[in-house]
Structure 1
Amino acid sequence: MEHSKKLGTFYGVGVGPGDPELLTLKAVRVLEACPVLAAPQTASGEMTALSIARQAADLEGKTLLPLYFTMSRDRAKQQEAHRAAADAVRPYLEAGQDVAMAILGDVSIFSTYCYLMDILKAEGFPCVMVPGVPSFCAVAARLGRSLTEANTPLHILPGGGEGPGETLDLPGSKILMKSGKNYPRILEELEQRDWLDRAGMVENCGLPGERVFSSLKEKPESSGYFTTIILP
Protein backbone atom coordinates (compact mmCIF):
# COMPACT_ATOMS: atom_id res chain seq x y z
CA MET A 1 0.00 0.00 0.00
CA GLU A 2 1.51 3.33 -1.04
CA HIS A 3 0.82 6.68 0.61
CA SER A 4 1.72 10.06 -0.86
CA LYS A 5 1.32 12.13 2.33
CA LYS A 6 2.60 11.86 5.88
CA LEU A 7 0.78 9.21 7.82
CA GLY A 8 -0.05 9.15 11.48
CA THR A 9 1.71 6.66 13.75
CA PHE A 10 -0.23 3.95 15.58
CA TYR A 11 1.12 3.65 19.13
CA GLY A 12 0.38 0.80 21.51
CA VAL A 13 0.83 2.13 25.03
CA GLY A 14 1.01 -0.17 28.04
CA VAL A 15 -0.56 1.60 31.03
CA GLY A 16 0.19 -1.06 33.64
CA PRO A 17 -2.29 -3.24 35.53
CA GLY A 18 -4.25 -0.58 37.41
CA ASP A 19 -2.20 1.67 39.68
CA PRO A 20 -1.79 4.96 37.75
CA GLU A 21 1.58 5.50 39.44
CA LEU A 22 2.91 2.57 37.40
CA LEU A 23 2.58 4.41 34.08
CA THR A 24 6.01 5.15 32.63
CA LEU A 25 7.12 8.67 31.77
CA LYS A 26 7.18 7.61 28.12
CA ALA A 27 3.61 6.31 28.28
CA VAL A 28 2.42 9.63 29.72
CA ARG A 29 4.33 11.61 27.09
CA VAL A 30 2.96 9.60 24.16
CA LEU A 31 -0.62 9.66 25.46
CA GLU A 32 -0.48 13.42 25.95
CA ALA A 33 1.09 14.00 22.52
CA CYS A 34 -1.38 11.97 20.44
CA PRO A 35 -4.58 13.76 19.37
CA VAL A 36 -6.53 10.49 19.15
CA LEU A 37 -6.80 7.96 21.98
CA ALA A 38 -8.17 4.48 21.33
CA ALA A 39 -8.94 1.80 23.89
CA PRO A 40 -10.96 -1.39 24.23
CA GLN A 41 -14.48 -0.76 25.52
CA THR A 42 -16.55 -3.37 27.33
CA ALA A 43 -20.19 -4.09 26.62
CA SER A 44 -21.08 -2.00 29.69
CA GLY A 45 -19.20 0.99 28.23
CA GLU A 46 -16.11 0.84 30.44
CA MET A 47 -12.71 1.80 29.00
CA THR A 48 -10.54 0.58 31.87
CA ALA A 49 -7.15 1.32 30.29
CA LEU A 50 -8.12 4.92 29.54
CA SER A 51 -9.57 5.35 33.03
CA ILE A 52 -6.19 4.39 34.47
CA ALA A 53 -4.28 6.63 32.06
CA ARG A 54 -6.55 9.59 32.82
CA GLN A 55 -5.35 9.53 36.44
CA ALA A 56 -1.72 10.03 35.38
CA ALA A 57 -1.88 12.03 32.13
CA ASP A 58 -3.71 15.11 30.87
CA LEU A 59 -6.08 13.73 28.25
CA GLU A 60 -8.35 16.76 27.89
CA GLY A 61 -9.42 17.65 24.36
CA LYS A 62 -8.49 14.30 22.85
CA THR A 63 -10.62 12.43 20.34
CA LEU A 64 -11.69 9.20 22.05
CA LEU A 65 -12.04 6.10 19.89
CA PRO A 66 -13.72 3.11 21.59
CA LEU A 67 -12.76 -0.26 20.12
CA TYR A 68 -14.90 -3.34 20.52
CA PHE A 69 -13.51 -6.87 20.82
CA THR A 70 -15.42 -10.11 21.13
CA MET A 71 -14.97 -12.46 24.07
CA SER A 72 -15.84 -15.35 21.78
CA ARG A 73 -13.30 -18.16 21.31
CA ASP A 74 -14.35 -18.43 17.67
CA ARG A 75 -11.27 -17.50 15.64
CA ALA A 76 -13.31 -16.11 12.71
CA LYS A 77 -15.26 -13.79 15.04
CA GLN A 78 -12.04 -12.64 16.67
CA GLN A 79 -10.46 -11.82 13.30
CA GLU A 80 -13.59 -9.95 12.25
CA ALA A 81 -13.41 -7.82 15.41
CA HIS A 82 -9.71 -7.11 14.80
CA ARG A 83 -10.40 -5.99 11.24
CA ALA A 84 -13.29 -3.78 12.38
CA ALA A 85 -11.05 -2.14 15.00
CA ALA A 86 -8.29 -1.57 12.43
CA ASP A 87 -10.91 -0.03 10.11
CA ALA A 88 -11.85 2.40 12.89
CA VAL A 89 -8.25 3.48 13.46
CA ARG A 90 -7.20 3.72 9.79
CA PRO A 91 -8.96 6.99 8.80
CA TYR A 92 -7.15 8.94 11.53
CA LEU A 93 -3.77 7.58 10.44
CA GLU A 94 -4.56 8.37 6.80
CA ALA A 95 -5.37 11.95 7.86
CA GLY A 96 -1.91 12.23 9.42
CA GLN A 97 -3.08 12.00 13.04
CA ASP A 98 -1.19 9.90 15.55
CA VAL A 99 -3.32 7.39 17.45
CA ALA A 100 -2.39 5.96 20.86
CA MET A 101 -4.12 2.76 21.90
CA ALA A 102 -4.08 2.34 25.69
CA ILE A 103 -3.55 -1.26 26.76
CA LEU A 104 -3.68 -2.79 30.24
CA GLY A 105 -0.37 -4.15 31.49
CA ASP A 106 2.31 -4.47 28.82
CA VAL A 107 1.56 -4.04 25.15
CA SER A 108 3.34 -7.25 24.10
CA ILE A 109 1.62 -9.69 26.49
CA PHE A 110 -1.79 -11.04 25.45
CA SER A 111 -2.45 -7.65 23.86
CA THR A 112 -5.20 -6.77 21.38
CA TYR A 113 -2.97 -3.99 20.05
CA CYS A 114 -0.66 -6.48 18.38
CA TYR A 115 -3.46 -7.88 16.19
CA LEU A 116 -4.25 -4.38 14.91
CA MET A 117 -0.57 -3.58 14.55
CA ASP A 118 -0.06 -6.57 12.25
CA ILE A 119 -2.96 -5.47 10.03
CA LEU A 120 -1.98 -1.78 9.82
CA LYS A 121 1.76 -2.37 9.56
CA ALA A 122 1.13 -4.63 6.54
CA GLU A 123 -0.67 -1.68 4.94
CA GLY A 124 2.33 0.59 5.41
CA PHE A 125 1.33 2.51 8.53
CA PRO A 126 4.09 3.20 11.07
CA CYS A 127 3.52 1.42 14.39
CA VAL A 128 5.35 1.90 17.69
CA MET A 129 5.05 -0.15 20.90
CA VAL A 130 5.49 1.56 24.28
CA PRO A 131 6.08 -1.07 27.00
CA GLY A 132 4.30 -1.01 30.35
CA VAL A 133 4.52 -2.78 33.71
CA PRO A 134 3.17 -6.32 33.20
CA SER A 135 0.31 -7.31 35.49
CA PHE A 136 2.14 -10.37 36.83
CA CYS A 137 5.10 -8.23 37.93
CA ALA A 138 2.73 -5.99 39.87
CA VAL A 139 1.07 -9.10 41.35
CA ALA A 140 4.45 -10.50 42.47
CA ALA A 141 5.28 -7.16 44.09
CA ARG A 142 1.88 -7.06 45.80
CA LEU A 143 2.48 -10.56 47.18
CA GLY A 144 6.06 -9.72 48.14
CA ARG A 145 7.44 -12.65 46.15
CA SER A 146 10.34 -13.20 43.80
CA LEU A 147 9.37 -14.76 40.48
CA THR A 148 12.76 -16.21 39.58
CA GLU A 149 16.07 -17.18 41.09
CA ALA A 150 19.34 -18.11 39.38
CA ASN A 151 18.70 -20.55 36.50
CA THR A 152 14.97 -20.78 37.33
CA PRO A 153 12.70 -20.64 34.26
CA LEU A 154 9.52 -18.56 34.31
CA HIS A 155 6.42 -19.66 32.39
CA ILE A 156 3.53 -17.34 31.53
CA LEU A 157 0.43 -19.46 31.00
CA PRO A 158 -3.09 -18.46 29.94
CA GLY A 159 -5.47 -19.35 32.73
CA GLY A 160 -8.53 -19.00 30.49
CA GLY A 161 -9.61 -21.01 27.47
CA GLU A 162 -8.59 -24.63 27.83
CA GLY A 163 -6.67 -23.83 30.99
CA PRO A 164 -3.03 -24.63 31.81
CA GLY A 165 -3.40 -28.44 31.95
CA GLU A 166 -0.11 -30.31 31.85
CA THR A 167 1.88 -27.07 31.45
CA LEU A 168 1.48 -26.71 35.21
CA ASP A 169 4.13 -29.42 35.53
CA LEU A 170 6.79 -27.45 33.67
CA PRO A 171 9.90 -26.81 35.80
CA GLY A 172 10.28 -23.44 37.49
CA SER A 173 7.81 -20.68 38.35
CA LYS A 174 4.40 -20.38 36.69
CA ILE A 175 2.12 -17.40 36.10
CA LEU A 176 -1.55 -18.13 35.37
CA MET A 177 -3.09 -15.04 33.79
CA LYS A 178 -6.80 -14.17 33.50
CA SER A 179 -7.71 -17.21 35.56
CA GLY A 180 -11.10 -16.07 36.86
CA LYS A 181 -13.35 -18.08 34.56
CA ASN A 182 -11.37 -21.31 35.03
CA TYR A 183 -10.67 -20.72 38.72
CA PRO A 184 -12.61 -23.74 40.09
CA ARG A 185 -10.84 -26.12 37.69
CA ILE A 186 -7.44 -24.55 38.37
CA LEU A 187 -8.06 -24.82 42.10
CA GLU A 188 -8.82 -28.51 41.66
CA GLU A 189 -5.62 -29.10 39.68
CA LEU A 190 -3.55 -27.26 42.28
CA GLU A 191 -5.15 -29.28 45.06
CA GLN A 192 -4.33 -32.54 43.27
CA ARG A 193 -0.69 -31.48 43.21
CA ASP A 194 -0.78 -30.28 46.85
CA TRP A 195 0.17 -26.76 45.75
CA LEU A 196 -2.60 -24.69 47.34
CA ASP A 197 -0.41 -23.57 50.21
CA ARG A 198 2.34 -22.12 48.02
CA ALA A 199 0.08 -20.58 45.37
CA GLY A 200 -0.53 -16.84 45.65
CA MET A 201 -3.30 -14.91 43.91
CA VAL A 202 -4.34 -11.32 43.28
CA GLU A 203 -7.65 -10.34 41.74
CA ASN A 204 -7.95 -6.91 40.07
CA CYS A 205 -4.39 -5.88 40.98
CA GLY A 206 -4.27 -2.10 41.37
CA LEU A 207 -7.92 -1.74 40.38
CA PRO A 208 -11.04 -1.14 42.48
CA GLY A 209 -12.06 -4.37 44.16
CA GLU A 210 -8.49 -5.66 44.49
CA ARG A 211 -8.21 -8.82 46.59
CA VAL A 212 -4.91 -10.35 47.70
CA PHE A 213 -4.37 -13.94 48.81
CA SER A 214 -0.89 -15.05 49.90
CA SER A 215 -2.13 -18.66 49.86
CA LEU A 216 -5.02 -20.58 48.31
CA LYS A 217 -5.13 -23.08 51.15
CA GLU A 218 -8.51 -21.74 52.33
CA LYS A 219 -9.84 -21.92 48.73
CA PRO A 220 -11.07 -18.31 48.48
CA GLU A 221 -13.89 -17.70 46.03
CA SER A 222 -13.00 -15.82 42.89
CA SER A 223 -14.76 -14.94 39.66
CA GLY A 224 -12.91 -11.86 38.45
CA TYR A 225 -11.57 -11.85 34.89
CA PHE A 226 -8.33 -10.18 36.00
CA THR A 227 -7.25 -12.94 38.38
CA THR A 228 -3.55 -13.82 38.39
CA ILE A 229 -2.11 -16.84 40.20
CA ILE A 230 1.61 -17.25 40.93
CA LEU A 231 3.29 -20.58 41.58
CA PRO A 232 6.93 -19.95 42.59
Structure 2
Amino acid sequence: MEMKQGIFYGVGVGPGDPELLTVKALRIMGECPVLACPQTKSGEMLALDIVRQAMDVSDKTILPLHFTMSRDAAVQRAAHEKAADEVCRYLAQGQDVAMPNLGDVSIYSTYCYLMELVRERGFQTQMVAGVPSFCAIAARLGVSLTEMKSPLHIAPGSSDLEEVLHWPGNKILMKSGSQMPEVLKAIAEHASLEKSAMIQNCGLPDERVFENLAEKQPEDSTGYFATVIVKE
Protein backbone atom coordinates (compact mmCIF):
# COMPACT_ATOMS: atom_id res chain seq x y z
CA MET A 1 0.00 0.00 0.00
CA GLU A 2 1.34 3.44 -0.98
CA MET A 3 2.07 5.69 2.00
CA LYS A 4 -0.19 8.72 2.36
CA GLN A 5 1.71 11.92 1.71
CA GLY A 6 1.61 14.86 4.06
CA ILE A 7 0.10 18.27 3.26
CA PHE A 8 2.09 21.50 3.46
CA TYR A 9 0.02 24.23 5.16
CA GLY A 10 0.82 27.94 5.12
CA VAL A 11 -0.78 29.45 8.21
CA GLY A 12 -1.23 33.19 8.75
CA VAL A 13 -0.66 33.99 12.43
CA GLY A 14 -1.36 37.73 12.34
CA PRO A 15 1.11 40.54 12.97
CA GLY A 16 2.04 39.81 16.58
CA ASP A 17 -0.88 39.77 19.00
CA PRO A 18 -1.57 36.06 19.75
CA GLU A 19 -5.26 36.89 20.27
CA LEU A 20 -5.47 37.57 16.53
CA LEU A 21 -4.72 33.93 15.69
CA THR A 22 -7.81 32.36 14.14
CA VAL A 23 -9.54 29.25 15.44
CA LYS A 24 -8.70 27.51 12.16
CA ALA A 25 -5.02 28.46 12.38
CA LEU A 26 -4.79 26.96 15.86
CA ARG A 27 -6.64 23.82 14.77
CA ILE A 28 -4.45 23.20 11.73
CA MET A 29 -1.21 23.75 13.64
CA GLY A 30 -2.52 21.57 16.45
CA GLU A 31 -3.12 18.73 13.99
CA CYS A 32 0.26 19.03 12.23
CA PRO A 33 3.14 17.12 13.85
CA VAL A 34 5.72 19.40 12.21
CA LEU A 35 6.01 23.20 12.35
CA ALA A 36 8.39 24.65 9.74
CA CYS A 37 9.45 28.05 11.05
CA PRO A 38 11.57 30.79 9.47
CA GLN A 39 14.61 31.45 11.64
CA THR A 40 16.89 34.49 11.56
CA LYS A 41 20.69 34.32 11.73
CA SER A 42 20.45 35.19 15.43
CA GLY A 43 18.20 32.19 16.04
CA GLU A 44 14.91 34.05 16.44
CA MET A 45 11.68 32.48 15.18
CA LEU A 46 9.18 35.31 15.55
CA ALA A 47 6.19 33.53 14.00
CA LEU A 48 6.76 30.56 16.31
CA ASP A 49 7.07 32.86 19.33
CA ILE A 50 3.59 34.22 18.55
CA VAL A 51 2.18 30.71 18.18
CA ARG A 52 3.72 29.61 21.49
CA GLN A 53 1.70 32.26 23.31
CA ALA A 54 -1.53 30.72 22.05
CA MET A 55 -0.88 26.96 22.08
CA ASP A 56 1.43 24.28 23.44
CA VAL A 57 3.98 23.18 20.83
CA SER A 58 6.06 20.94 23.10
CA ASP A 59 4.98 17.83 21.21
CA LYS A 60 5.83 19.27 17.79
CA THR A 61 8.87 18.73 15.63
CA ILE A 62 10.26 22.22 14.99
CA LEU A 63 11.92 22.52 11.59
CA PRO A 64 13.93 25.78 11.34
CA LEU A 65 13.98 27.27 7.84
CA HIS A 66 16.77 29.64 6.86
CA PHE A 67 16.23 32.27 4.19
CA THR A 68 18.39 35.06 2.84
CA MET A 69 17.98 38.82 2.71
CA SER A 70 20.06 38.90 -0.47
CA ARG A 71 18.40 40.48 -3.50
CA ASP A 72 20.27 38.12 -5.80
CA ALA A 73 17.57 35.99 -7.44
CA ALA A 74 19.85 32.95 -7.70
CA VAL A 75 20.76 33.13 -4.00
CA GLN A 76 17.09 33.49 -3.05
CA ARG A 77 16.11 30.58 -5.26
CA ALA A 78 18.78 28.34 -3.72
CA ALA A 79 17.53 29.12 -0.20
CA HIS A 80 13.93 28.40 -1.21
CA GLU A 81 14.92 25.12 -2.89
CA LYS A 82 16.81 23.99 0.23
CA ALA A 83 13.87 24.86 2.48
CA ALA A 84 11.44 23.06 0.16
CA ASP A 85 13.66 19.96 0.22
CA GLU A 86 13.63 19.96 4.03
CA VAL A 87 9.84 20.30 4.16
CA CYS A 88 9.31 17.59 1.55
CA ARG A 89 11.31 15.06 3.57
CA TYR A 90 8.59 15.14 6.22
CA LEU A 91 5.76 15.21 3.66
CA ALA A 92 7.17 12.12 1.99
CA GLN A 93 6.97 10.35 5.37
CA GLY A 94 3.25 11.11 5.54
CA GLN A 95 3.60 13.94 8.07
CA ASP A 96 1.64 17.17 7.62
CA VAL A 97 3.76 20.31 7.93
CA ALA A 98 2.48 23.76 8.94
CA MET A 99 4.51 26.89 8.26
CA PRO A 100 3.41 29.83 10.45
CA ASN A 101 3.69 33.17 8.66
CA LEU A 102 3.37 36.66 10.06
CA GLY A 103 0.22 38.46 8.95
CA ASP A 104 -1.72 36.81 6.15
CA VAL A 105 -0.12 34.00 4.22
CA SER A 106 -1.03 35.47 0.80
CA ILE A 107 0.61 38.89 1.34
CA TYR A 108 4.39 39.16 0.81
CA SER A 109 4.74 35.68 2.29
CA THR A 110 7.77 33.41 1.98
CA TYR A 111 5.40 30.45 2.16
CA CYS A 112 4.12 31.23 -1.34
CA TYR A 113 7.60 30.70 -2.81
CA LEU A 114 7.92 27.35 -1.07
CA MET A 115 4.34 26.40 -1.95
CA GLU A 116 5.13 26.45 -5.67
CA LEU A 117 8.29 24.39 -5.21
CA VAL A 118 6.51 21.85 -3.00
CA ARG A 119 3.71 21.53 -5.57
CA GLU A 120 6.30 20.92 -8.27
CA ARG A 121 7.54 17.99 -6.20
CA GLY A 122 4.05 16.47 -6.26
CA PHE A 123 2.76 17.34 -2.78
CA GLN A 124 -0.49 18.99 -1.73
CA THR A 125 -0.55 22.47 -0.23
CA GLN A 126 -3.19 24.52 1.57
CA MET A 127 -3.30 28.14 2.74
CA VAL A 128 -4.92 29.31 5.98
CA ALA A 129 -5.79 33.00 6.03
CA GLY A 130 -4.60 35.28 8.82
CA VAL A 131 -5.13 38.89 9.91
CA PRO A 132 -2.99 41.17 7.67
CA SER A 133 -0.72 43.59 9.49
CA PHE A 134 -2.26 46.63 7.83
CA CYS A 135 -5.76 45.64 8.99
CA ALA A 136 -4.49 45.27 12.56
CA ILE A 137 -2.73 48.63 12.24
CA ALA A 138 -5.88 50.36 10.98
CA ALA A 139 -7.81 48.91 13.93
CA ARG A 140 -5.08 50.01 16.35
CA LEU A 141 -5.22 53.55 14.93
CA GLY A 142 -9.01 53.57 14.72
CA VAL A 143 -9.09 54.57 11.05
CA SER A 144 -10.87 53.31 7.95
CA LEU A 145 -8.81 51.99 5.06
CA THR A 146 -11.48 52.36 2.40
CA GLU A 147 -14.43 54.58 1.64
CA MET A 148 -17.19 54.21 -0.95
CA LYS A 149 -15.72 53.96 -4.47
CA SER A 150 -12.22 54.62 -3.10
CA PRO A 151 -9.51 52.03 -3.90
CA LEU A 152 -6.84 50.75 -1.53
CA HIS A 153 -3.29 50.18 -2.81
CA ILE A 154 -0.66 47.97 -1.16
CA ALA A 155 3.00 48.40 -2.09
CA PRO A 156 6.41 47.72 -0.52
CA GLY A 157 8.31 50.74 0.73
CA SER A 158 10.96 50.04 -1.89
CA SER A 159 8.52 50.81 -4.73
CA ASP A 160 8.63 53.87 -6.99
CA LEU A 161 6.84 55.96 -4.39
CA GLU A 162 6.49 59.01 -6.58
CA GLU A 163 4.19 56.93 -8.79
CA VAL A 164 2.49 55.00 -5.97
CA LEU A 165 1.63 58.10 -3.96
CA HIS A 166 -0.16 59.64 -6.94
CA TRP A 167 -2.52 56.68 -7.29
CA PRO A 168 -6.11 57.49 -6.24
CA GLY A 169 -7.29 56.27 -2.83
CA ASN A 170 -5.42 55.27 0.33
CA LYS A 171 -2.01 53.62 0.27
CA ILE A 172 -0.36 50.95 2.44
CA LEU A 173 3.45 50.94 2.37
CA MET A 174 4.67 47.66 3.82
CA LYS A 175 8.15 46.56 4.92
CA SER A 176 9.22 50.19 4.89
CA GLY A 177 11.72 50.11 7.75
CA SER A 178 15.05 50.15 5.92
CA GLN A 179 13.77 52.78 3.46
CA MET A 180 12.06 54.98 6.08
CA PRO A 181 14.01 58.21 5.39
CA GLU A 182 13.23 57.91 1.69
CA VAL A 183 9.60 56.96 2.42
CA LEU A 184 9.06 60.00 4.65
CA LYS A 185 10.69 62.30 2.10
CA ALA A 186 8.48 60.92 -0.69
CA ILE A 187 5.32 61.33 1.40
CA ALA A 188 6.26 64.92 2.22
CA GLU A 189 6.81 65.70 -1.45
CA HIS A 190 3.99 63.73 -3.10
CA ALA A 191 1.30 63.22 -0.44
CA SER A 192 0.71 64.45 3.12
CA LEU A 193 2.64 63.58 6.28
CA GLU A 194 -0.28 64.99 8.28
CA LYS A 195 -2.56 62.34 6.77
CA SER A 196 -0.02 59.54 7.26
CA ALA A 197 0.57 57.21 10.20
CA MET A 198 2.96 54.36 10.95
CA ILE A 199 3.16 51.46 13.36
CA GLN A 200 6.28 49.38 13.89
CA ASN A 201 5.94 45.82 15.18
CA CYS A 202 2.17 46.01 15.60
CA GLY A 203 0.97 43.74 18.41
CA LEU A 204 4.48 42.91 19.62
CA PRO A 205 5.99 44.00 22.97
CA ASP A 206 8.15 46.65 21.25
CA GLU A 207 5.28 48.18 19.26
CA ARG A 208 5.76 51.85 18.37
CA VAL A 209 2.89 54.04 17.17
CA PHE A 210 3.16 57.25 15.13
CA GLU A 211 -0.38 58.54 14.60
CA ASN A 212 0.62 61.67 12.67
CA LEU A 213 3.93 61.65 10.82
CA ALA A 214 3.85 65.43 10.47
CA GLU A 215 3.97 65.77 14.26
CA LYS A 216 6.21 62.86 15.21
CA GLN A 217 8.58 60.64 13.26
CA PRO A 218 10.95 57.83 14.29
CA GLU A 219 14.37 59.16 15.26
CA ASP A 220 16.16 55.88 14.69
CA SER A 221 15.82 52.67 12.70
CA THR A 222 12.25 51.41 12.48
CA GLY A 223 13.19 47.81 11.73
CA TYR A 224 11.75 45.50 9.11
CA PHE A 225 8.11 45.36 10.26
CA ALA A 226 7.12 48.99 9.81
CA THR A 227 3.91 49.74 7.92
CA VAL A 228 2.73 53.17 6.82
CA ILE A 229 -0.84 54.20 6.02
CA VAL A 230 -1.12 57.19 3.69
CA LYS A 231 -4.63 58.61 3.55
CA GLU A 232 -5.79 60.37 0.39
AA aligned to 2:174 is M
Aligned Cα RMSD in Å? 1.3
Q: Match of 1:177?
A: 174
Q: Provide the TM-score with structure 1 as the length reference.
A: 0.95
Q: Match of 1:9?
A: 7
Equivalent pair of 1:158/1:164 in contact (CA under 8 Å): no
Q: Which of 140, 143, 157 is the aligned partner of 2:138? A: 140
Q: Which of 97, 100, 110 is the aligned partner of 1:99? A: 97
| Partner Cα separation in structure 2 for residue 135 and residue 151 of structure 1 | 23
Q: How does 1:78-157 map to 2 (within 5 A)?
A: 78-157=76-155
Secondary structure in structure 2 of the residue aligned to 1:16: coil
Q: Match of 1:223?
A: 222
Identity of aligned residues (%): 60
Q: Which runs of 5+ in 2 are unaligned?
A: none
AA aligned to 2:135 is C
AA aligned to 2:118 is L
Q: Which runs of 5+ in 1 are unaligned?
A: none
| Partner Cα separation in structure 2 for residue 213 and residue 50 of structure 1 | 27
Secondary structure in structure 2 of the residue aligned to 1:51: helix
Q: Provide the TM-score with structure 2 as the length reference.
A: 0.95
Deviations, residues 87-114 of structure 1 (Å, cap 9, x unaligned)? 1111100000000001000000000001
| Partner Cα separation in structure 2 for residue 141 and residue 87 of structure 1 | 39
Q: Which of 157, 163, 166 is the aligned partner of 2:163? A: 166
Equivalent pair of 2:165/2:190 in contact (CA under 8 Å): no
| Partner Cα separation in structure 2 for residue 114 and residue 42 of structure 1 | 18
Equivalent pair of 2:200/2:207 in contact (CA under 8 Å): yes
Deviations, residues 186-215 of structure 1 (Å, cap 9, x unaligned)? 111111135111101000000121001111
Deviations, residues 3-27 of structure 1 (Å, cap 9, x unaligned)? 9421000000000000000000000
For residue 224 of structure 1, report the CA deviation from its aligned partner. Answer: 1.4
| Partner Cα separation in structure 2 for residue 95 and residue 133 of structure 1 | 31
| Partner Cα separation in structure 1 for residue 161 and residue 62 of structure 2 | 36
**Greater alpha carbon shift after TM alignment, 122-131 vs 93-102:** 122-131
1:197 paired to 2:194: yes
| Partner Cα separation in structure 2 for residue 115 and residue 46 of structure 1 | 21
Q: How does 1:206-221 map to 2 (within 5 A)?
A: 206-217=203-214, 218-221=216-219
Secondary structure in structure 1 of the residue aligned to 2:228: strand
